[in-house]
Structure 1
Amino acid sequence: MSRVMLTHRTPLRLLLVLLLLPFQVAAQEDVFALDKLNTGLTAPGPAVERNTPQAAMEAFIDLTNDGDFAAAAHLLDLNDIPVPTQSHVGPLLARQLAIIIDRKIVVDWQDLLERPDAMVTSGDGAMVGQPQKSVLIGYLERDDRITAVRLDRVQVGEDDPVWIFSRGTVDNIPALYNLYGPSRLEEMLPAPLRRPAFWGMQWWEVLGLPLIALVTGLVALLT
């Protein structure tokens, strides 16, 4: 009897699978599917918000401003980094990316939607009504070409999708840091002098302005 019931139910199950298949494919197209993510790191804490682009960006800025680069590393796609070194390299890359963003990128918060699917719901652009799985944060010049800094929506298996800095962005961090990071002289300054002041300047730059003005004035008087 049970075998007969199974036989009758099988076509219904196949029909249900066929009906749901387009929705499953569409859901997969809204994310970058991964087999694993940052397996060399410990589990992320509650401060690592990654469910929307805006939450991910806010979490990254807050964590790096607080000096918690180990937690901020969870907002990077470190899959190209060997697993045994992710816990060491990840925080270093998070710190470098934070400096790059602080110095060279003006974050357009209006483009970082507080939606898991990053769908634009207003306006008349081509992306209106379309879920996004990659959001542009900014462009930087590097070796006569443009390098994009992006957040990607990734998913491992049946886990909830998360927004993190793309693997391509992470791969470019060392080169971008060499171009836009602090000079060797800046690295030698005490940490308080390297903290942000205002107008995009650090305190050592603010304190150095009167000295520069004084030297410029003396040169003008002597010439």
Structure 2
Amino acid sequence: MAVYDVQSLKNGALFHETGVGAHYYVYSGQSTVYSEAFANIKLPTSMNYANGTRNAFISLGIAGTGVAIDLGLINTGNDWKPVYNEVANGTGYGEIMHNYVAPSSATNAKIVVKPVSTTKVHMYIQFLNSSGQNVGTAFDQDITLQHSSFTSSGGIISCRYYRFASLVPNNGQDNQTDGSRMTGGQFINLGLYNRNTSTYDTWGVPTTRVTNAWMVSPDHISVTCGNNYDTFNITHT
């Protein structure tokens, strides 16, 4: 298949991004039932940033009508750090949390994201070592949105949750044979918190909670999906 071709994992693509490397997205349905999304991110076991020309992203997100807020991790070639980026009406704003760096012993990152109000979201990230012990400083903060807002009814936010992984060029040149890679990464223990039952419902691609999932540039990315996990490998070779 050609670069930027789309391969559906479930029900096709909601949108089609180009110029940002091979990547994949998974979207839940629009709902007021789920108040937060959870995942345990297994950090990739092999990385190559093509001489610093690509940034790696592994992220959850929250989407409303005309707004999407990426909430997750970035690696610019040295360490994983929390990052967020909001896009609404073609306008974007983002920030890297440089004071919350993953220690070298970190193998995983637990992440929780949730809407707090129509203009605020919350992100929690805690890095873990191979024994499951907390390492580094947890990021646990509300984030006030700059250019966007959600809709709500009775104080309950209506939104969709999503996740993605990508290796994005930072020089405007998306050469998908540049040798960059991000392999051995996983989202595991995927859960959406059901406010009605006070339990987490799984949101793997095969579940009814997921409505759409797709890959872009499938010759350079592979994704394996289960009821509560994704495994992904990106290889720009």
Same fold (TM over 0.5): no
Q: Which has a greater percent of helix?
A: 1
Q: Which has a greater percent of strand?
A: 2
Q: Which structure would you say has the larger Rg? A: 1
TM-score by length of 2: 0.21
Which is bigger in relative contact order (C-alpha 8 A, separation at least 6)?
A: 2
